[in-house]
Chain A
Amino acid sequence: MQENYLAKWLSGELSEKELAEFKKSEEYASYQKLKEISSTLKSPEFDMDSAFELIKQQHFGQAPKVITLNPFKKFLRVAAVIAIMLAGSYFYLNTLDESVGTSLAERSEVILPDNSEVFLNADSHVSFSKKKWDQERNITLKGEAFFKVAKGKKFTVQTDHGTVAVLGTQFNVENRKGFFEVTCYEGLVSVTFNDQETKLPAGSSFLVIDGKLVKTAEPKDNQPTWMNNESSFESIPLQFVFAELERQFNLRVTTKNINTELLFTGSFNNTDLNMALKSISTPSQIQYKVEGDNVLFYAGNTTP
C-alpha cells in the first residue's frame, strides 16, 4: 500500500489493485462507515446575509481607500529629486569662490572680472568671489602676487598676515611663512597689519619678518623683479632667500654650518639654477652641492 493510502482512498485516487486489496482488509468496513457518516456532518448555521449586511452598513458608506496607480508618479519623484540636486549644486557652486593657484617653479596670470590683473609667483594661490565682485573687490592671497588693479571701488587683498587695500594701483604682496612684504609701485596702498593701518605711497615697501617691522629700501623698478624672472633681496635673512630658491626651482635646500639669519642683498635668476646658485653662494662665501632635487649649502671651510 502506498503512503497515505487512506487519504488516497477517500479522494478516489487508489489504483484498482490497491482498492481491491484495501476492500479485503478487515478494517475496510469501519472506514467505509466513517466515510459515509462523516459526509452527513454539518457545520453550524452561518447567516451569510446578515454577515454581509453588517459589513455593508459599517464600511460601504465610506469610500474605499483607492490608491491611484500613476506610472509617472515614481518618475516624477526621481525627476524632482534630480531637479532639486541640480538647482542646489548650481547655487552652491555659484557661491563657491573662484580660485587659481600655482605650484612650485610655476607662474600664472589671472584676469579678474573688472580686468584687474594678478600675476602669481611660484607656490601661490588666490581666491575670490566672481558673483560678488561687483559689490566688493575682495581677494584672498596665499604666497606672492603682483597686482595691477583697475580703477574703481576699494580693492582688498586678504592675507593671513594682514590686509592690503587700494583704490587702483600696482603693487606686490608677498605673504610667506614668517615673511610679509607689500610693495607699492603706483598710487597709494593701505596696509593693515596687527590692526594698524599704514599708508604706503608709490615707490615704498612694507616688510614684516617674523612679526617684526623691518625698514626697507625703495624699490628701483616699477614692478617686482620676479616679473622679469629674477628674485631680488635687500638685506633679507638667508633662510628666506633659500625658501624662494626652493619655490622657484622646485627643490629642497638643506644647510650645514651656515647662519641662515645672515642678511643677503642681491638677486638670482629664476630660470638658470647654476647661475642662481652662484649668485647666492659667491657673495655669501658659502659652498653648495647639488644632488638631484636637493641642494646643500655649507660653510666654505668645511666639507659636505
Chain B
Amino acid sequence: MSNVCEEQVFSSIFKSNSKTVFNYIYYKFGNAEKANDAVQEAFVKLWENCAKVSPEKAKSYVYTIANNLYLNVIKAEKVRLKYANSVNEQSSNLSPEFLMEEKQYKEKLENALNALPENQRTTFLLNRIDGKKYAEIAEMEGVSVKAIEKRMHLALKSLREQIDGL
C-alpha cells in the first residue's frame, strides 16, 4: 500500500499539485510571495502528517491547508494580478495592428479580472489557465458544482461587460 510518508509518493503528489496550489493562492490574493509560502506550508504540513493522510486525500488536504493559511490574512489587501504575457512566437507573423489590439484587450481583461470578486476570479482562472473542471474546482473550494457554475457564469458576464465598456 502506498504511503504519503514514502518519499517517492510524496514527491509525485508535490509534482502534480504544487503548481495548482501556487496558482490557487495567487488567483485569490494576487501575491506570488504569499503563494510560494502557501506551497511550502501546505506540503510541510502534509509531510508532517503523512501517516494520517492517505494519498487519495492528500490533494484536498493541501488545498485546505493553503486556503486556511491566508483566509484572514490577505483578504483586505488590494489585488494586483499580473498575468505573464503570452504573446508567443507564432503570432510574430501576424500584423502589428492585430498584436496591438490583442495587447490592449489583455490589459482590459487584466483590469476586469482584478475587479472581480475573489471567488469568481479564482474559479475563472483555475478553469482558463489550469484547465480545471468545474467539479475539481468545487472540490478545492469545498462548494457544490452548481455554485462553481454560478460563479463562472457571473464572472463571464461581468468580464464581458467590463471589457465592452457596457
Contacts and interface: CB of A to CB of B under 8 A. Distances in A.
Q: Do the two chains bind?
A: yes
Interface of A: 3-8, 10-11, 27, 30-31, 33-34, 37-46, 48, 51-52, 54-55, 58-60, 64-67
Given A11-B134, A43-B129, A44-B32, A55 B44 contact: yes
Contacts of B19: 46, 48
Interface string B123-163: 01101111001100000000000101110110011011001
Interface string B13-47: 01100110011001100001001100110011001
A44 B156 contact: no
A40 B133 CA distance: 17
Q: For the side of the interface on B, what is the size category?
A: 35 or more
Given A64-B5, A67-B51, A30 B163 contact: yes
Contacts of B15: 48, 52
Task: Say whether chain B's binding surface is mostly helix, strand, loop, or mixed.
Answer: helix
Contacts of B152: 4, 6-7, 10
A51 B40 contact: yes
Nearest to B164: A30
A8 B86 contact: no
CB-based closest 6 A-B pairs: A7-B152, A4-B153, A42-B84, A7-B149, A6-B156, A4-B149
Contacts of B50: 64
A6 B153 contact: yes
13 contacts: A4-B146, A4-B149, A7-B152, A27-B160, A41-B86, A41-B125, A41-B128, A43-B23, A44-B83, A55-B14, A55-B40, A55-B43, A65-B49
Nearest to B21: A46
Contact of A58 (B44, B51, B124, B160): B44
B78 interface: no
A42 B87 CA distance: 10
B150 A43 contact: no
Nearest to B52: A67
Contacts of B47: 55, 59-60, 64
B11 interface: yes
A204 to B, nearest CB: 83
Contacts of B48: 59, 64-65
Contacts of B39: 46, 51
Task: Say whether chain A's binding surface is mostly helix, strand, loop, or mixed.
Answer: helix
A52 B106 CA distance: 32
Given A5-B153, A7-B152, A30-B164, A41 B18 contact: no
B149 A60 contact: no
A46 B36 CA distance: 8
Contacts of A33: 105
A8 B149 contact: yes
B98 to A, nearest CB: 12
Given A7-B156, A64-B5, A64-B50, A41 B36 contact: no
Contacts of B148: 7
A6 B148 CA distance: 12
B7 interface: yes
Contact of A38 (B26, B124, B153): B124
A67 B127 CA distance: 38
Contacts of A54: 40
B136 to A, nearest CB: 12
Given A30-B160, A41-B128, A48-B15, A7 B23 contact: no
B109 A34 contact: yes
